């Protein structure tokens, strides 16, 4: 629902009273192997959106976002300079969330505070949603656990390479695709089958109607292009860990087009994890050569001392293929064998130790990846996470009254 600010420094978010963190969106987890120091757990992330139920009354912006973070079990980082801005520092906020989908709750909170999510390139913030001052969080369409946002519209003259002459005018709409942080680490946009230059293993078929299902201006003229391509900016690269994925759609700009895109409706294909392997190893230096059971493939953990400096260790996870399905093995090899598995090293004081990437390799039969540790004596545990199966979800989007350039 929409949020309206009250007169003065207090802003009221009206949603509904809640008692639990979320009714849907929680992941189911099954521990398939465990001993005193080692556990292998298979997590199945829910495809439904995380639902927020909470009450906030006369609280700071930090408390408002902290409440959403706690109830959704999401790491939200609000930049200190954003909290110090005069429009935020002196304000209090009240909210009643009654089963709001995660992105709707974020949108309402951003509208009332004037803050918005941004992309962070800090590796330590890879599992977080960063909130700061920026452009308004508007022109957002939410479908399930994913938000799609229009970030730019440009108009240009096309070019016909068959005749080497100028073509019809066209409009390019740039989109940002934001999966919920709990699934975004290994999510990526899928390309239509047969796209040139893309790995066929990561290409995913889309509906025959294309990416843009309907587009018209405020006079009823159709804006559908003869072909309806969606360009995935940066390509369909899996497991880049980006907070947001970028894409664009091309529309026609016919003679007599009016001032607005009255309706833009379409869909896109997003690859998301279906099963995630979570490995936890306490006292990892003592578990060199440990065999890890419970996943679809055979796994071995190695703790290797540095020959030049015995106080430094390189930890490696080796996965030997046992799964017959190529698509599932691709998910494993592309994450583990390309250093895209999430690794966390936890000190005895609970803080996270720094680590450096080691070597990695992957092929049709095995994959391995390593990471370095400079403080093994302070290390309480190592945690490794990677997907062992992916699935494709269709994300629908709809926008109205977008101003044409």
- Tens of pLDDT, residues 61-115: 999 999 999 999 999 999 999 999 998 998 999 999 999 999 999 999 999 899 9
Secondary structure letter of residue 225 according to DSSP: -
Q: Where are the beta strands (DSSP E) in 3-145?
A: 4-5, 10-13, 28-34, 38-44, 51-59, 75-78, 92-101, 115-118, 128-133, 140-143
Question: What is the model's pTM?
Answer: 0.82
pLDDT at residue 198 is higher than 80: no
User: Does one domain contain both 181 and 259?
Assistant: yes
| pLDDT band of 239, cuts 50, 70, 90 | low
Spatial CB neighbours of 47, under 8 Å, sequence gap ≥ 6: 144, 145, 272, 391, 393
Pair 261, 395 in one domain: yes
User: What's the confidence (pLDDT) of residue 227?
Assistant: 67
DSSP string, 116-140: EEE----GGGTTEEEEEE-S---SE
Report pLDDT digits (tens) over 379-393. Answer: 899 999 999 999 999
233/262 same-domain check: yes
Split into its structural domains, the chain has a count of: 3
User: Is 39 within the bounds of a domain?
Assistant: no
Residue whose C-alpha is closest to residue 172's, from 150, 160, 157, 154: 154
- The tokens describing 10, both together, are 């207090």
Q: What tens digit of pLDDT does each residue of 270-281 get?
A: 989 999 999 999
User: Are 216 and 301 in the same domain?
Assistant: no
- Both 257 and 295 in one domain: the answer is no
Q: What's the pLDDT score for residue 302?
A: 95
Q: Is residue 245 part of a domain?
A: yes
Q: Tell me, what's the pLDDT at 19? A: 34
Contact 345, 331 (CB under 8 A): no
Same domain, 195 and 254: yes
Same domain, 263 and 286: no
The answer to whether residues 181 and 257 belong to one domain is yes
Tokens of 255: 């003679």
> Average pLDDT, stretch 248-261?
87
CATH number of residue 60's parent domain: 3.55.50.30
- The answer to whether residues 260 and 399 belong to one domain is yes
Containing structural domain, residue 381: 275-390
The answer on 118 and 94 residing in a single domain is yes
Length of the chain: 405
CB 334 within 8 A of CB 236: no
């Amino acid at each position: 629902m929409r949020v309206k600010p009250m007169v003065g420094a207090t802003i009221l978010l009206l949603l509904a009273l809640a008692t639990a963190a979320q009714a849907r969106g929680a992941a189911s987890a099954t521990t398939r192997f465990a001993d005193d120091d080692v556990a292998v757990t298979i997590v199945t992330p829910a495809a439904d959106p995380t639902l927020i139920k909470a009450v906030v009354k006369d609280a700071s912006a930090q408390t408002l976002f902290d409440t959403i973070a706690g109830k959704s079990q999401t790491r939200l980082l609000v930049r200190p300079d954003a909290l110090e801005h005069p429009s935020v520092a002196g304000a209090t906020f009240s909210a009643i969330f009654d089963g709001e989908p995660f992105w709707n709750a974020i949108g309402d909170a951003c509208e009332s505070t004037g803050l918005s999510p941004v992309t962070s390139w800090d590796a330590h913030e890879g599992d977080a949603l960063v909130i700061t001052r920026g452009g308004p969080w508007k022109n957002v369409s939410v479908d399930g656990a994913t938000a799609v946002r229009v970030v730019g519209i440009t108009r240009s003259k096309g070019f016909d390479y068959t005749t080497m002459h100028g073509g019809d005018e066209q409009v390019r709409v740039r989109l940002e695709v934001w999966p919920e942080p709990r699934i975004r680490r290994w999510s990526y946009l899928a390309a239509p089958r047969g796209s040139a230059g893309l790995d066929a293993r990561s290409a995913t078929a889309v509906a025959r109607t294309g990416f843009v299902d309907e587009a018209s201006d405020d006079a009823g003229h159709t804006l559908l292009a003869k072909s309806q391509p969606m360009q995935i900016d940066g390509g369909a690269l899996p497991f880049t860990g980006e907070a947001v994925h970028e894409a664009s759609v091309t529309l026609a700009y016919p003679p007599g087009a009016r001032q607005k895109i009255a309706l833009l409706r379409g869909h896109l294909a997003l690859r998301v994890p279906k099963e995630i392997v979570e490995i936890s190893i306490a006292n990892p230096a003592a578990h060199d050569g440990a065999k890890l059971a419970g996943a679809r493939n055979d796994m071995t953990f190695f703790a290797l001392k540095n020959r030049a400096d015995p106080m430094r260790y390189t930890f490696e996870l080796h996965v030997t293929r046992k799964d017959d399905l190529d698509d599932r093995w691709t998910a494993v090899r592309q994450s583990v064998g390309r250093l895209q598995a999430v690794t966390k090293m936890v000190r005895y004081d609970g803080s996270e130790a720094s680590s450096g990437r080691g070597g990695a390799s992957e092929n049709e039969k095995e994959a391995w990846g390593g990471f370095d540790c400079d403080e093994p004596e302070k290390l309480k545990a190592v945690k490794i996470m990677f997907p062992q199966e992916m699935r494709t979800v269709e994300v629908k989007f709809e926008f109205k009254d977008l101003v044409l350039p």
